[in-house]
Structure 1
């Protein structure tokens, strides 16, 4: 409710940010803040107060959210506080709507612009404040098309050019942002306590379940005995639960038990995922749809097995265990249009459903006061991916998902199911220990020279002919090595050329070269690259 009474931590954060906005405070790095607040600590209220102060001073603001699917819940709070003065700008608007909103912003008709990464380019006059909510999210990086920019970096530059205050907010800041805050580039402001209608509330109690032990004890269900017991308690007490599995579909892949054949995409070197809805196989990269095979095309065996689990599997198991419970599945298969998203969110918030099953889309800032339990069905999905950021990604996802529990009047509890209970990211997430995770992650990054200790550039070449693809990657790699040697650039490392994690994507083979160093621009700035190459500076992932 407004007016809002801050806690002491919020007041301290607000005083620093307000001092930057008004120019009244003497701070080390005016205008650049990393607001590190645990889930449910009231970061949004700090944003709202900061925007209110900017408007009072006759200036305007931009607030970015990671994805447009998040916007409906966030926008309600902003519109409620600033009725008639908020513009929503995103790619799902029609061209005519985008034209009208863009020109309305340019004419100064809106005090606040809210949207995903593209909103940072809104022509907001008299800009005084930029907010990047959930600044750790990969969605802020445009990686699929040119220009490959990170909206957080654009926001930093825009704040400098316009002399605006910048607030980066997250419960799990990116390692790079926290590193810069520790170095004094940003001013670190922390909100260490959760605030609920009951006042200061502890973070959810997290229990890690070793699924290997479950198997040894004869439990072959996708739910551990603990999670099943907790779900039963939630249903009996008329509370709500969220079940998280970061994979769509019902089976990750099919396999012939006679010869080992696995149906794959004709255009991408990936296995097809089985979706029970429509009984079809789908490539999650190019979205091509295939018929389900009943007989192996290689050996003609009909012994075809389904392996792996996804959201459809979890939903089906819930309906079997709790036939009278109301269950909603929330993933990109069921949330296609904006009204799908809003309808499911509003239905769950009104307690018209008891269990919400979803992918990472449910981890992004949603607030459901009735949720007392979060179950992470499989925390191991990304553990073995060949990406130096995989540990950070797992830690952030687990903390964010677990943070959905206990935000109302019910005590929060989270259950993490894993076959790797000693994995460092899982152990730190279970303790809500960001500082411990950061120190552990930085030792690993320092050892191998990964960002933030070095810059990184990923070069990828694609071609329909595999031999030509490899030959071109070899040619450019030799040129890069010659440049490094000729210019005597110390500390520069080249990894590759190597086949990309997905060797063939949408009909084209891929080879990649990764460069690590502090003077990469001098190597690449005058290097001619033919069509088929793309460069990704400071990539959020290397697969």
Structure 2
């Protein structure tokens, strides 16, 4: 008798599966979505394995199949299990990332009456009880959550009383999926010759009605199919529709409509260019690995190319090879902001064969693209982190562009996975080739390539379009580091150093473009009273409020709480309130003051909340509708802006001195990446970096475009301290509304972990902390961190009973 191990979508986070008997009437295989009994409820689940015997003596039957076709491939079933084990995450949280969007079904608790309205009079109910009971009787059934929202804290007691006296009963049901295929009724041409003949007859009739019908029929002949709603708006009447269907000229039917975010956009085919020798060598190495997939040896590559070296052309050549072999691919980009430009490059090479998947799509678009990708309708899927888990069949190639970016790590919810690490496991399970690309690779990726775990491919020279066609080598932009201490000594109080101000003016005079980078939003970093030192802070978070001039409000960048700008100090009632620090809004204001003729655009999170805003800003700047682009790290990504001849870094110090071992590496990456936006056109370019610490190795390396130097320094530093790649990290964080309780629980847990370390004899694992998080209080909850460091720190956490309020982050990208 067959049994199935099922991951259940329960309210309680579960790491294990549950065994169910497979009824004789069902054919069940791994990856299928099923309904299973779980306690008093029926819940959603996914079959992880099928077996002939059961590890438990008593089992219940699978209730039904949700869909006969598996929702997860064999590779994704294995990947979900691996993610749960590796990241210590609930199994269904991992599976949920791979399900069709909107299909994850939570249980719904309903209240149903057990008597009629006529029977309620003699029950002696209170007014509140009678009102609720009458509501449930009137509506037949009511969601318990709806009752709680309507009544408030008293809801639980009232419901419990009505349940005890037998007036109500609870029933359980799954919420319906929040996304479904979109169906539309269409009229479709079935006999072109008969339709043409009928249209000619109507034209010959000459009446107004006949001419309208002839026009509609001619439109249908040209389009062959149109939605009924549009046909009716064009004059289709029920009588004429019957005439067409009865005569065999057309049929009406319901079809599923693909909600494609790229619908209506045409991408002219672009033939592959001639590759440089370095590009050709890299593409050949990847092509050989694609051809050798059948051997079962997974291959990994690190494509290290300087900014503007043509890494995308190598990706495209590799994709060409994969598609020619009958394989498909996934291409990851770090931000939604990069998706439009990347999609265009890939869609020009593979017209109508590129799917885009990201969180900016509507739920319906995301659902339809997921289904179309699973059906094998696209050769290439492009998107940020979540696109990694798209159900792409025949996966042969997985590319991660700008692989060093921290946005590839999911930090806010379980599972807290890193797309790069999960991609490596997926490639092993699917037998696919992995290509990581960056001008500033993550130090761990670079060390892995140095050790021979991945093959290092290098593009050491920048290239640009040549005047006579093809490409030519080009120099990297020159970098000038400006010591802001010397600027102050010279009496310059502007946010622009003298070299940067001269450079901006020269670029504007020459009709060129400028990018100004500051990795901080807002107008002022904080607001302070100059009499008593008071700083306006968020009431829910232990951080200063940032002033935003367009809203004339103080805003918390952690919880989004807003407050008006005080006219006087709340503490001493003084009126010397000053706005201190810089943000992108202030930089834009200063540009307009110093260079009144300059047209500006700002690119940060505050101006990109709407759909397609990233694409709109980039398109306007590329069309030279603006001269100066001011932005946060969004402008430091892999964007190609040929008219930019000057990049200015307003302050290189914003992240340099954070108490995180990756601070130097990240600062170098940001500076080198934003510097790479300059000089991609024929006019070349330059970079001005403003800093108070020009002697810092990260800034010195950025000024020389010296990735190897900073990487070797970081590797030596981490080797001494046992940080990745020479050891692994796991961080657990406790949060609670009570400050003292949070501290006590963190301290107690640290002691329990140390005791378990002694019991297991794991002397090579360090337990550091507890220590307050960098932002000690967020959204009203006090936070404490415990950091575990060693060869496999998760060993201590497996099976360790963490109380409610703890989160686990294996391989954290930040220890703040």
Q: Secondary structure at the match of 1:3?
A: coil
**Equivalent residue for 2:364?**
96
The CA distance in 2 between the partners of 1:307 and 1:412, in whole Å, is 32
1:99-178 alignment, distance < 5 Å? 99-178=367-446
Superposed displacement of residue 338, structure 1 = 3.4
1:328-339 alignment, distance < 5 Å? 328-339=601-612
Superposed displacement of residue 2, structure 1 = 2.2
Superposed displacement of residue 24, structure 1 = 9.2
More relative contact order in 1 or in 2 (CA 8 Å, sep 6+)? 1
1:464-483 alignment, distance < 5 Å? 464-483=737-756
1:244-323 alignment, distance < 5 Å? 244-323=517-596
8 Å Cα contact 1:489/1:519 also seen in 2: no
**Equivalent residue for 2:762?**
489
RMSD across aligned positions (CA): 1.4
**Equivalent residue for 1:85?**
353
TM-score by length of structure 1 reads 0.98
8 Å Cα contact 2:541/2:558 also seen in 1: yes
Superposed displacement of residue 493, structure 1 = 1.2
Q: Secondary structure at the match of 1:52?
A: helix
**Equivalent residue for 2:339?**
71
Q: Secondary structure at the match of 2:606?
A: coil
**Equivalent residue for 2:709?**
436
The CA distance in 2 between the partners of 1:109 and 1:213, in whole Å, is 60
Superposed displacement of residue 30, structure 1 = 5.3
Among 224, 237, 241, the residue aligned to 2:497: 224
In terms of mean alpha carbon deviation, does 310-319 or 517-526 score higher?
Answer: 517-526
Q: Secondary structure at the match of 2:796?
A: helix
Q: Secondary structure at the match of 2:543?
A: coil
Per-residue CA deviations over 1:337-375 (Å, capped at 9, x if unaligned) read 232222211111111111111110011111100000000
The number of residue pairs the alignment matches comes to 542
Per-residue CA deviations over 1:381-404 (Å, capped at 9, x if unaligned) read 012211111111100000000000
The CA distance in 2 between the partners of 1:369 and 1:217, in whole Å, is 35
Superposed displacement of residue 73, structure 1 = 0.9
Superposed displacement of residue 524, structure 1 = 1.1
The CA distance in 2 between the partners of 1:364 and 1:338, in whole Å, is 19
**Equivalent residue for 2:634?**
361
Superposed displacement of residue 306, structure 1 = 1.0
Per-residue CA deviations over 1:192-251 (Å, capped at 9, x if unaligned) read 100112410011100100000000011111011000011111011111110001111110
Superposed displacement of residue 91, structure 1 = 1.7
Superposed displacement of residue 488, structure 1 = 2.1
Among 23, 27, 41, the residue aligned to 2:292: 23
The CA distance in 2 between the partners of 1:348 and 1:524, in whole Å, is 49
TM-score by length of structure 2 reads 0.65
8 Å Cα contact 2:514/2:627 also seen in 1: yes
Superposed displacement of residue 3, structure 1 = 2.8
8 Å Cα contact 1:19/1:25 also seen in 2: no
8 Å Cα contact 1:51/1:61 also seen in 2: yes
8 Å Cα contact 1:279/1:292 also seen in 2: yes
Superposed displacement of residue 486, structure 1 = 2.4
1:438-453 alignment, distance < 5 Å? 438-453=711-726
Q: Gaps (5+ residues) in structure 2?
A: 1-269, 467-471
Q: Secondary structure at the match of 1:226?
A: helix
8 Å Cα contact 2:730/2:794 also seen in 1: no
Matched, 1:11 2:280: yes
In terms of mean alpha carbon deviation, does 497-506 or 446-455 score higher?
Answer: 446-455
The CA distance in 2 between the partners of 1:352 and 1:218, in whole Å, is 35
8 Å Cα contact 1:34/1:186 also seen in 2: yes
Per-residue CA deviations over 1:444-502 (Å, capped at 9, x if unaligned) read 21222211111000110000001110111011100111122222223221210111111
The CA distance in 1 between the partners of 2:439 and 2:295, in whole Å, is 26
The CA distance in 1 between the partners of 2:420 and 2:711, in whole Å, is 20
8 Å Cα contact 1:16/1:25 also seen in 2: no
The CA distance in 2 between the partners of 1:55 and 1:15, in whole Å, is 15
Q: Secondary structure at the match of 1:333?
A: helix
8 Å Cα contact 2:301/2:436 also seen in 1: yes
8 Å Cα contact 1:275/1:312 also seen in 2: yes
Among 772, 776, 779, the residue aligned to 1:503: 776
Superposed displacement of residue 53, structure 1 = 1.1
- CA distance 1:53–1:364, change in 2 (3 Å): same
8 Å Cα contact 1:60/1:112 also seen in 2: yes
Per-residue CA deviations over 1:411-450 (Å, capped at 9, x if unaligned) read 1100000000011111101111011001111122122221
The CA distance in 1 between the partners of 2:366 and 2:675, in whole Å, is 36
- CA distance 1:494–1:184, change in 2 (3 Å): same
The CA distance in 2 between the partners of 1:30 and 1:187, in whole Å, is 12
8 Å Cα contact 1:69/1:338 also seen in 2: no
Matched, 1:377 2:650: yes
Superposed displacement of residue 298, structure 1 = 0.8
The CA distance in 2 between the partners of 1:337 and 1:409, in whole Å, is 34
Per-residue CA deviations over 1:30-80 (Å, capped at 9, x if unaligned) read 520000011100000111111111111111100011111210111111111
The CA distance in 2 between the partners of 1:426 and 1:372, in whole Å, is 20
The CA distance in 1 between the partners of 2:663 and 2:678, in whole Å, is 24
8 Å Cα contact 1:328/1:355 also seen in 2: yes
The CA distance in 1 between the partners of 2:729 and 2:479, in whole Å, is 35
**Equivalent residue for 1:55?**
323
The CA distance in 2 between the partners of 1:25 and 1:428, in whole Å, is 42
**Equivalent residue for 2:684?**
411
**Equivalent residue for 1:38?**
306
Q: Secondary structure at the match of 1:396?
A: helix
**Equivalent residue for 2:185?**
none
